[in-house]
């Protein structure tokens, strides 16, 4: 009926299809078994969760040692005073309970969020912040914007520029200094 070579190729193709189908079925059975035992974690199948250890702000300050003033542009007393003023707004910006799902690495406390925002404002890299604080890259940016919103909403930190005199562009002297 068929030439012997063609017949052999058809048999090989059928075998490859059967083998591929058996592999797919085997993978599905394995995944169903793993999911049934509760080994899979994440919001959806295949979601990756990077395990992070949240750090305490006090331990970060302790590790920095004599460089803490340079890293934050403030000392610990000023940090705690600022945190106390911003606490109601920070709690509003960053609720500890999620609306959906679980927080695999635990919630990020408000001191850690403020610390990340201040480190960024002092010139630190978001990658450095995420490693030192034990938070994700996106959480660094969320902390920055949330803290900025909290500062803007806090009445005790209001800045009133009415009546203030700011130098105009023409008032500059050589070297970029003001009169």
At 135-165, the pLDDT tens digits run 999 999 999 999 999 999 998 888 777 766 7
Longest dimension (CA), the chain: 101
Please check the confidence at residue 5 and state whether its pLDDT lies above 50. Answer: yes
Please check the confidence at residue 42 and state whether its pLDDT lies above 50. Answer: no
Confidence of residue 100 (pLDDT cuts 50, 70, 90): low
Give the orientation angle of helix 126-133 with respect to helix 57-64, to 10 degrees. 110
One domain for residues 61 and 146: yes
DSSP code string of 64-116: HGGGHHHHHSS-HHHHHHHHHHHHHHHHHHS-SS-SSS--TT-PPPHHHHHHH
Question: pTM, whole model, 2 decimals?
Answer: 0.64
pLDDT for the residue numbered 77: 92
One domain for residues 69 and 114: yes
What's the N-to-C CA distance of the chain in angstroms? 101
pLDDT for the residue numbered 103: 75
Please check the confidence at residue 166 and state whether its pLDDT lies above 90. Answer: no
pLDDT for the residue numbered 36: 60
Q: Which residue has the tokens 């406390």?
A: 109
One domain for residues 80 and 132: yes
Q: Which residue has the tokens 């850690």?
A: 112
One domain for residues 72 and 15: no
Q: How far apart are CA 20 and CA 16, in angstroms?
A: 6
Q: Which residue has the tokens 């010139």?
A: 123
Mean pLDDT of the chain: 78
One domain for residues 22 and 64: no
166 belongs to a structural domain: no
Domain extent at residue 22:
1-42
30 belongs to a structural domain: yes
Contact present, 168 and 140 (Cβ < 8 Å): no
Please check the confidence at residue 134 and state whether its pLDDT lies above 80. Answer: yes
One domain for residues 64 and 144: yes
> Tokens for 108?
């990020």
pLDDT for the residue numbered 34: 60
112 belongs to a structural domain: yes
Confidence of residue 46 (pLDDT cuts 50, 70, 90): low
Q: Which residue has the tokens 């940090």?
A: 79
| Average pLDDT, integer, range 52-58 | 87
One domain for residues 88 and 4: no
Give the 3-state secondary structure of residue 129.
Answer: helix
State the total domains in the chain.
2
How large a percentage of the chain has pLDDT more than 90? 32
């Amino acid at each position: 009926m068929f030439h012997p070579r063609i017949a052999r190729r058809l048999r090989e193709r059928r075998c490859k299809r059967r083998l591929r189908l058996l592999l797919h079925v085997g993978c599905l059975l394995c995944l169903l078994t793993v999911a049934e035992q509760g080994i899979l974690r994440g919001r959806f199948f295949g979601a990756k969760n990077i395990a992070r250890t949240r750090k305490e702000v006090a331990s970060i300050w302790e590790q920095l040692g004599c460089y803490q003033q340079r890293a934050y542009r403030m000392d610990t007393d000023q940090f705690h005073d600022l945190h106390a003023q911003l606490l109601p707004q920070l709690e509003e910006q960053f609720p500890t309970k999620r609306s959906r799902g679980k927080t695999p690495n635990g919630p990020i406390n408000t001191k850690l969020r403020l610390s990340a925002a201040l480190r960024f404002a002092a010139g630190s890299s978001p990658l450095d912040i995420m490693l030192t604080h034990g938070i994700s890259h996106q959480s660094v940016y969320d902390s920055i914007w949330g803290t900025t919103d909290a500062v803007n909403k806090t009445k005790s930190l209001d800045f009133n520029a009415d009546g203030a005199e700011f130098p105009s562009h023409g008032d500059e002297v050589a070297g970029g200094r003001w009169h």
